[in-house]
Every structure is written in C-alpha cells, then in structure tokens.
Amino acid sequence: MLKTTSVYTDVLIHLLLILGNVEGWTYHWKDNETMTWNETRKWCLTEYTDIVMVHNENVTYFLKNNLKEKSSSPYYWIGLRKIKETWTWAANGQSVNYENWAPNEPNNNKADENCVELYTSTNNKGKWNDDSCKNKKHPVCHKGKKLEMKDALLVQLV
C-alpha cells in the first residue's frame, strides 16, 4: 500500500511538472537542440504560442526550477530583444518593466548583443544576459492555453 501510494505520488508530481503552468501559461523547451534567436521564435510560433515571456518573478521561479541546470553555454533563449535601443518582449511588443539581469549585464559586448538568454548555471540561475542573436541556444516557448491544476489531475485519471 505504501509503495503504491509512493509510485502514485511520483507519477502525479511528474505530471504536474510536465503540465506545470504559471497563470494559465504552459512552458515548453528543448534540451537536445539549439537554434539562433530568430529560429527559436519561428519554432515557438509554429509549435506553441510564442517565445517565452518572463514578465514576473513567478515565471522566473518556474523556469529556475524546471529547466536543466547547466554549467556552461549554451543556455536558453527567452523572448526579449532590443528594438531601437529598447528591450522589448516579442510576444506582446511591450517594453520590459520586470528585469532580472545577471551582474554587469546587459553589457552589449562587441556592440552586438541584442537578444537575451536565461542562465541556468548554479550561480546565476534564472538571471539574464544579452548575447548575439546569431548564437545557438536551447529554445523556450510558452503556450497560452488556460490549464488549471484540476485539469492536470483529470488527465492523470483518464
């Protein structure tokens, strides 16, 4: 009985992670492929809703806890890039108000850093860095479908 319960709990936790969501958005990424920022956006628009918007601490918290921890590049692209010197979210065209830069970033190295990655290293997990849009990193998308926790439970019972 104890064993069954623990397996059940395990499966449940796993499902909740897969279907994990923040305010109705679900998050989707690839750990085994890398793309430029433009390719990432294209892939997200095709497969999901858009390249991920990290517009508050709850999204940061979710990504910090679910993306794969890495000790070095490549990390993950997020949906923020510079348009006419303003950091702008691709998904809604709005400029940033919540920001979560790593120390000494954005530094616009070589005057060619117009896209933003999210670090998943131990020291800077969840922090942002501006980088060249041409570099290849893992994509993170979001999907706008409303998904409540009770729906996650329903899926498991089916």
Ligand X SMILES: *[C@@H]1O[C@H](CO)[C@@H](O)[C@H](O)[C@H]1NC(C)=O
- State both tokens at 82: 């510079």
Of the candidate spans 4-12, 56-64, 116-124, 148-156, the one that interacts with ligand X by CB under 6 A turns out to be 56-64
CB nearer to ligand X: pick between 102 and 115? 115
CB nearer to ligand X: pick between 7 and 17? 17
Residue type for position 37: W
Residue type for position 89: W
Residue count of the chain:
158
Least distance CB 29 / ligand X (angstroms) = 11
Q: Is 56 in the site for ligand X (CB under 6 A)?
A: yes
Q: Is 88 in the site for ligand X (CB under 6 A)?
A: no
- State both tokens at 94: 């709005």
CB nearer to ligand X: pick between 68 and 134? 134
- State both tokens at 129: 């860095």
Q: Is 58 in the site for ligand X (CB under 6 A)?
A: yes
- x-or-dash string of contact with ligand X, 96-135, rule CB under 6 A: -------------------------------------xx-
Q: How many CB atoms lie within 10 A of CB 11?
A: 11
Q: With the CA atoms of 88, 119, 50 and 54 taken in that order, what torsion angle do they form, in degrees rounded to the nearest 10?
A: -60
CA distance 62 to 55: 12
Of the candidate spans 6-14, 35-43, 51-59, 130-138, the one that interacts with Ca ion by CB under 5 A turns out to be 130-138
Is cis: bond before 103, omega within 30 of 0? no
Q: Which residues of this protein are in contact with ligand X, per CB under 6 A?
A: 32-33, 38, 56-58, 133-134
